[in-house]
Structure 1
Amino acid sequence: MVRVIQWATGSMGRTALRRIIDAPDLELAGVYVYSDKKAGMDAGQLCKRLDTGVLATNNIEEILALDADLVIHTPRITLPYEQMNADVIRLLESGKNVISTAGFHYPLAHDEAYWAPLKAACEKGNSTLAGLGVNPGGFIERVVLAATGFSSKLDSITVSETVDASEMVSKEFVFGLMGFGADPAVNDITKGPLAAMYTSLFSEILHFVGKALNVDLIEITPEHALTLAPHDMEIGAGTIKQGTVAATEWRWTAHYSQDVSFTLSIIWTSDPKLHGKDTNGHWVVDIKGRPNMTMTFSIDEGDPTKPQSRALTDATVSGALRGVHDVVAAPAGFFAFYPSGAWQGR
């Protein structure tokens, strides 16, 4: 039995909390919340389950004092990206393993000033840090890379992801971290702190891919784009005014040695119709070389009465919880699932 703490109870955290409570091999040890309103509530009340006897707290000292094996860390991504590191370091130093859906997918992608304190915390607490989920932390690292194993020659990988945000209700997330509603004449988000934060997050994939393919990363080239609302648009989180951002495309191309490249494109949109037919499937993967390969991969909600975003939340949480026993058993340090049989540069 693994004793687990759930950290944060937004939409992702509530899903994780239900999975932990329902799992026969996991025992809920604690719940961390950010708001005073949720503090003191039973964990079951927070996620539509029966009372568990475990009360939520917004006091990190109480979390650090708990006897637990692992923390499922599901806060929103922070701006700046490294803002969440201080809390994670304290968790690791206290001897608790951490699986995060919000970062830490490949800390070594950053400079030593970023990863060294995390590594030292793992050593001090004899603990392990993992970033797992869907993207980053899953689909590219464990599915796309495995597909490259069918290549006798690899030239390029292109992964295009489309996320429909029309039913998301969090104004803070949609109009803040997703950048919707921004006026490009006042604030070009493709060149500001938001772009820097997403580059920090998704560059971890680009570095991980290079390591898995056994090629050296030479440079990363950004090419971000905005789609403006053709008219006022009503979405779950509010109103997008005409002429403001209705969709973002965050796009990077990593150039590696041996003439290999990897392009990652992520479109977050208020309406997929704004982008024509290029958005079929949640992911479209195009692998060029010998042979060429194309793959479309979708994650959908089977119940039409439920928001489509629920499916991606379910998948992200499942990807994180899949790693619980592996992370607990792993040696101290950074953890990642490495793909089986990816193409290898020579």
Structure 2
Amino acid sequence: MKHRVVQWATGNIGTRALRGVIEHPALDLAGVYVHTPGKAGTDAGELCGLAPIGVAATHDIDAILALGADCVLYMPRALDVGEVCRLLEAGANVVTTRGEFHHPASVPPEVRERVEAACERGGTSIHSTGSSPGFISEAVPLTLASIQRRLDRLTISEFADLSRRDSPGLLFDVMGFGKPPAAFDEGRLSHGRVSFGPSLRLVAEALSMPLDSLEADGEVATARGGVRIAAGELEAGTVAAQRITVSGIRGGKAVLRFRAVWYCTADLDPEWDVRATGWHIAVDGDAPLDIDMRFPVPIERMAAVSPGYTANRAVNAVPAVCAAPPGIRTTVDLPHILAALG
């Protein structure tokens, strides 16, 4: 049986997911919701670089609800709880790359209650996933822990070279690159805690090692000289790299850690362990592991390739989420996500 799927939003991630649905052997594209009215009426194939397929995008939520789709791939820039509840109540399961539903107990109680009630009324489920958080912060550590009988610490380090990212607003205004070190926004720590803390709690509870608390800390490195990147100019002495660590504490020790290292130049102090874009996982236990997962893509092509790391897992999760019992469903609740590639 093919699942009928709606793609909600067509940004970088949504566009890649849309293409994934169209090309998937077990999914049928039922519709596309776009936030930009000017995109309404455009054929879905044309929105993602394919030939027309006869499905036009719409800016009308009621039209989407009327489709009776099995699942909605919900990928907007911001969560609208009202939208999500309308979809769930209408009988559409939701797979989202929004990070709010990785760990039900971390969801604000009023939001959790509202969403779970919508799931019950519609007989539907909702699941948050993606590459990070998601694949690397949940699926991978749970798999690595399956060969342990004692886990002392598991650390995930994410490295991202942003030197060719042509997004001045994101890098300079949001992330704080190019600013004096003293201007480092403590809100960045809150972002890390909110983004990756739920995954750490989920993994810890799945391993019967519930956390006592979460801690976050951050530090920056400055440019040694002027640096020209795709987004603009970094002056000497301004922030050129940042490292944010979220730690899951149990018994006074950090047993799970997620560390994000984002940088615009590798010309930093030697103590900064800057690696190529990708992930490094270190497992300290009775079956220790040291794993590198690099993205073997030239930096010039990274912007074109990287959306697939997030979008593809969401597309592949559709059948499992559609088959799940009603409610907020996590990586622990669902079976291993399998990709139908034939």
Same fold (TM over 0.5): yes
Q: Normalising TM by the smaller chain, what interval?
A: 0.7 to 0.9
- Are 2:230 and 1:236 equivalent residues in the alignment? yes
Report the Cα offset of residue 206 of structure 1.
Answer: 1.3
Query: What secondary structure does 2:307 align onto?
Result: helix
- Confirm or deny: 8 A CA contact 1:143 1:339 kept in the other structure: no
CA contact (8 A) 1:225 1:248 kept: yes
Residues 16-165 of structure 1 aligned to structure 2 (within 5 Å): 16-76=17-77, 78=78, 83-103=79-99, 104-165=101-162
How far, CA to CA, are the matches of 2:65 and 2:175 in structure 1?
32
Identity of aligned residues (%): 34
What secondary structure sits across from 1:274 in the alignment?
coil
* Runs of 4+ residues deviating >6 angstroms: none
**In the alignment, which residue of structure 2 is the partner of 1:279?**
274
* Structure 1 pair 173–99 and aligned structure 2 pair: CA distance change class (3 A): farther
Q: Which amino acid aligns with 2:264?
A: S
Trace 1:242-321 onto structure 2 (pairs within 5 A).
242-257=236-251, 261-274=255-268, 278-280=273-275, 282-301=278-297, 304=298, 307-321=301-315
> Counterpart of 1:49 in structure 2: which amino acid?
L
Q: Distance in 1 between matches of 2:223 and 2:249?
A: 33
What are the Cα deviations for residues 147-192 of structure 1, in whole angstroms up to 9, with x where unaligned?
Answer: 122223221111111112222233444345444345554x431x23
2:338 maps to what in 1? none
State how far apart, in whole Å, the 1-side matches of 2:9 and 2:107 are: 25
C-alpha contact (below 8 Å) 1:141/1:339 kept by paired residues: no
> CA separation of 1:69/1:136 partners in 2, compared to 1, >3 Å: closer, same or farther?
same
* CA separation of 1:87 and 1:180: change in aligned 2, threshold 3 A: farther
Query: What does the per-residue CA deviation read over 1:288-327, in whole Å, with 9 as the maximum and x for residues that have no partner?
Result: 12243211112332xx485124443222222111111111
Which residue of 2 is the match for residue 335 of structure 1?
A: 329
User: In the comparison of the two structures, how many residue pairs are matched?
Assistant: 330
State how far apart, in whole Å, the 1-side matches of 2:53 and 2:35 are: 20
Letter in 2 for 1:36: P
Matched, 1:224 2:221: no
Q: Which amino acid aligns with 2:51?
A: L
Contact 2:171–2:231 at 8 Å: present in 1 too? yes
Segments of 5+ residues of structure 1 without an aligned counterpart are 341-346
CA displacement 1:257-296 (0-9 Å, x = unmatched): 5966111101122234437572335111111122432111
Contact 2:176 2:184 in 1 (8 A): no
**Structure-1-length-normalised TM-score:** 0.85
- Residues 112-136 of structure 1 deviation map (CA, whole Å, 9 limit, x = unaligned): 2342222122112211101111111
Question: 2:208 aligned with 1:214, yes or no?
Answer: yes
7 and 213 in structure 1: CA distance in 2 versus 1, 3 angstrom threshold:
same
Q: Which runs of 5+ in 2 are unaligned?
A: 335-342
1:40 is displaced (CA, Å) by 2.5
RMSD: 2.6
Contact 2:190 2:216 in 1 (8 A): no
Kept in 1, the 8 Å contact 2:40–2:58? The answer is yes
AA at the equivalent of 1:255 = I
